[in-house]
Amino acid sequence: MTRPFRFIAPMPSPDGTAAAWVDAVRRIEDLGFDAVSVSEHLSGGWRFEALSAMHSILAATTRLRVMSLVLANDFRNPVLLHKAAATMDFLSGGRLELGLGAGWLERDYSSAGLPFSTAVARIERLEEAVTIIKGLFAESTYSFAGRHYTVADAQGLPRPTQLPHPPILIGGGGPRILGVAARQADIIGVHARLDTTAVGPRATRDLSEEAVAAKVGITMEALRAAGRSPDAVELQWTIYECRITDRPSAQVDDVASSFSAFLRSDPDLATRSPAVLVGSFAACVDRLLELRERFGFSVFKLSGRPEATSPIVSALSGR
């Protein structure tokens, strides 16, 4: 099944006033994007608390969806996260998409005095947390006893607008996390594998065409092992370098992310990576159609200024 395109814009940078930030969010809605993504870190100069930003985006708009891309599971108790998510979904009329990850950046944990466990333990906790969150969306009272969490008669209130629950995205780049996503998620965010210190050349090389094909293959196999059809999920992908231009080799001053900077430093990788979308408008449209056909991606986050990438949204959204 070919799913229609959906496009996500990154949350506006909070560099100016609060009013300017709200205006930028509303502009994204006016440009036709389907959703705004909100990420989170506790270090590195990251400014906004993610749930507060998500609440504010939903309150400032009428159609736009908000997707956490992604929340680190270890930063919140799953019962409290469910309560926040259910509240946002109810108050927004059903415009929440809840993206979760296992957490990966060690300095986020150390800056908050949180213990940083092994990747296996973090991923195990994530799956238990998702089980609890889905259980609370499904039942008015829910209990759970696992290796990492115990929940006794927790109340699944308020009831969500989206049934059975807001779409849940789980993202990652390794077989173990993609297996969790295949068992639990409505949207699977395919990504590079990240080490515990920072984005670097090794993670960027994991955005190569061959690496992405391998990840999608692992995901499809995990879906089959879980008894789920690939048609049951959406696949999400992030375009880290996105520019509509008739001069692809022209010098660019703005660097949207660490991934973008490393991709630009490796011309061969940048030429072929699915995380790069640079060229004429027609070439960009054709490339997205190709990525959907080849990999099954239908939910795309387009990095860069929304005003610059909105022609793609106008041409392909919903198709």
Two tokens, residue 308: 């610059």
Q: Record the pTM.
A: 0.96
Packing angle, helices 306-316 and 281-295, rounded to 10: 60
Q: Residue 117 pLDDT > 80, yes or no?
A: yes
Which residue is listed with tokens 């490393």?
Answer: 262
> Is the pLDDT at 8 greater than 90, yes or no?
yes
* Mean pLDDT of the region 115-124: 97
CA distance linking residue 200 with residue 258, whole number of Å: 8
- The label of the residue with tokens 């705004």 reads 36
**Quick one: pLDDT at residue 203?**
80
| Average pLDDT estimate for 280-305 | 97
d(Cα 177, Cα 23) in Å, to the nearest integer? 36
Q: Taken in order 11, 12, 14, 19, is the CA torsion positive or negative?
A: negative
Selected residue with higher pLDDT from 271 and 13: 13
> Cβ-count burial of 8 within 10 angstroms (0-12 exposed, 13-18 middle, 19+ buried)?
buried
Residue 290 pLDDT:
98
Taking 70 as the threshold, does the pLDDT of residue 255 lie above it? Answer: no
pLDDT for residue 261: 77
Task: Answer for the pair 133, 124: CB distance below 8 angstroms, yes or no.
Answer: no
Quote the pLDDT of residue 104: 95
Query: Higher model confidence: residue 150 or residue 203?
Result: 150
In sequence order, the β-bridge partners of residue 235 are 188, 297
- pLDDT: which is higher, 247 or 237: 237
Helices (H), the chain: 18-30, 50-60, 78-91, 106-111, 119-138, 175-184, 201-205, 209-225, 258-264, 267-272, 281-295, 306-316
Give the integer Cα–Cα distance in Å for 189 and 288: 16
Supply angle C-alpha 124, 126, 131, rounded to 5.
Answer: 100
Q: What is the DSSP letter of 245?
A: -
Q: Which residues contact 249 (CB under 8 A, 6 or more apart)?
A: none
DSSP class of 49: -
User: How confident is the prediction for the chain on average, in pLDDT?
Assistant: 95
Percent of the chain scoring above 90 in pLDDT:
88
Q: Which amino acid is at 113?
A: G
pLDDT at 313: 98
pLDDT for residue 256: 57
Tell me: pLDDT of 138 over 60.
yes
* Pick from 19-23, 250-254, 290-294: least confident: 250-254
Tokens (6 digits) for 166: 């807001």
Out of 33-37, 258-262, 280-284, least confident range? 258-262
Least confident range from 65-74, 111-120, 195-204: namely 195-204
Closest CA to 82 of 123, 139, 28: 139
The pLDDT tens digits for 161-217 are 999 999 999 999 999 999 999 999 999 999 999 889 878 788 889 999 999 999 999
Give the burial class of 302: count Cβ atoms within 10 A of its Cβ; 0-12 exposed, 13-18 middle, 19 or more buried: buried
Q: Is the pLDDT of residue 252 over 70?
A: no
pLDDT digits (tens, 9 = 90+) for 24-44: 999 999 999 999 999 999 999
The pLDDT value given to residue 251: 58
| Residues above pLDDT 70, as percent of the chain | 97
Per-residue model confidence (pLDDT) at position 250: 61
**Residues 149/164, Cβ–Cβ less than 8 Å:** no
Question: Has residue 258 got a pLDDT over 80?
Answer: no
Distance of CA 79 to the CA centre of its chain: 21
Burial of 246 (0-12, 13-18, 19+ CB in 10 A): exposed
**pLDDT confidence of residue 175:** 97
Instruction: Output the pLDDT for position 253.
Output: 54
What pLDDT score does 120 carry?
97
The domains found in the chain, sorted by start residue, are 6-316 (3.20.20.30)
DSSP for 116-173, written as a single string? ---HHHHHHHHHHHHHHHHHHHH-SEEEEE-SS-EEEEEE--SPPSSSS-S-EEEEES
| 183 vs 233: CA distance, rounded Å | 10
Q: CA-CA distance, 192 to 84, in Å (whole number)?
A: 28
